[in-house]
Amino acid sequence: MVKYLIISIFIADQSLIKMDRTSILNQYKGICSDVLGELTTKLNKSFKSFLMETLILYLVIPGRINFLQLGRYGKSCEQRFRQNFSKDFDWLEFNLSLSDRVLTGDRKAIAIDPSYISKSGKNTPWIGYFWSGAAGQAKRGLEILGVGLIDVDNKDCISLQAVQTPDRQTLESRDANLTDWYLLVIKSMREKLHRASRHVVADAYFAKNNFATGLQEMKFDLVSRFRDDAALYYPTLQKPTGKKGRPKLYDGKIDMANLDTTRVQKINIDNGDLYTLVAYSKSLKQMVRLVIWYFKDGKKPKLFFSTNPEMSGKDVIEFYRTRFQIEFCFRDAKGFTGLIQSQARDVAKLSFNFNASLTSVNLAKVLARERGIPFSMASCKTMIHNAYLLERFICVSGIKPNRRLNDKLVKELIEFAASAA
| Residues 189 and 84 grouped into a single domain | no
pLDDT digits (tens, 9 = 90+) for 217-246: 999 999 999 999 999 999 988 777 777 777
Per DSSP, 204 falls in state G
Mean pLDDT of 209-215: 97
Q: How far apart are CA 371 and CA 374, in angstroms?
A: 9
Number of H helices, E strands in the chain: 16, 12
**Nearest by Cα to 251 from 265, 262, 243:** 262
Q: From residue 256, how far is each of 59, 231, 311 by CA, in Å?
A: 49, 10, 21
**Nearest by Cα to 267 from 277, 255, 258, 257:** 277
Q: Supply the pLDDT for residue 87.
A: 95
| Residues 163 and 56 grouped into a single domain | no
Pick 342 or 244 by higher pLDDT.
Answer: 342
Q: How far apart are CA 178 and CA 145, in angstroms?
A: 11
In a domain, 19, yes or no: no
Cα first-last separation, the chain: 31
Mean pLDDT of 24-33: 89
Query: What's the longest Cα–Cα distance across the chain?
Result: 100
Q: How far apart are CA 203 and CA 215, in angstroms?
A: 14
Please report which helix (H) or strand (E) contains residue 253, including its range. Answer: strand 250-253
Is the pLDDT reported for residue 413 higher than 70?
no
| Residues 112 and 79 grouped into a single domain | no
**Nearest by Cα to 363 from 101, 105, 88:** 101
Confidence band of 404 (pLDDT split at 50, 70, 90): low
Is the pLDDT reported for residue 1 higher than 50?
no
Q: Which residues pair with 115 in a beta bridge?
A: 144
Mean pLDDT of 161-172: 97
Number of domains in the chain: 2
| Residues 66 and 138 grouped into a single domain | no
| Residues 383 and 323 grouped into a single domain | no
Q: pTM of whole model > 0.95?
A: no
Mean pLDDT of 381-409: 72
| Residues 209 and 156 grouped into a single domain | yes
Q: Supply the pLDDT for residue 418.
A: 54
Per DSSP, 167 falls in state P
Is the pLDDT reported for residue 8 higher than 50?
no
Q: How far apart are CA 421 and CA 349, in angstroms?
A: 31
In a domain, 234, yes or no: yes
Q: Supply the pLDDT for residue 405.
A: 56
| Residues 195 and 302 grouped into a single domain | yes
In a domain, 206, yes or no: yes
Q: At what angle do helices 377-397 and 403-415 cross, to 10 degrees?
A: 140
Torsional sign, CA 177, 178, 181, 187: negative
Domain coverage including residue 402: 24-88+374-415
Q: How far apart are CA 216 and CA 338, in angstroms?
A: 35
| Residues 125 and 68 grouped into a single domain | no
| Residues 275 and 410 grouped into a single domain | no
Quick check: 180 and 256 in contact, CB under 8 A?
A: no
In a domain, 129, yes or no: yes
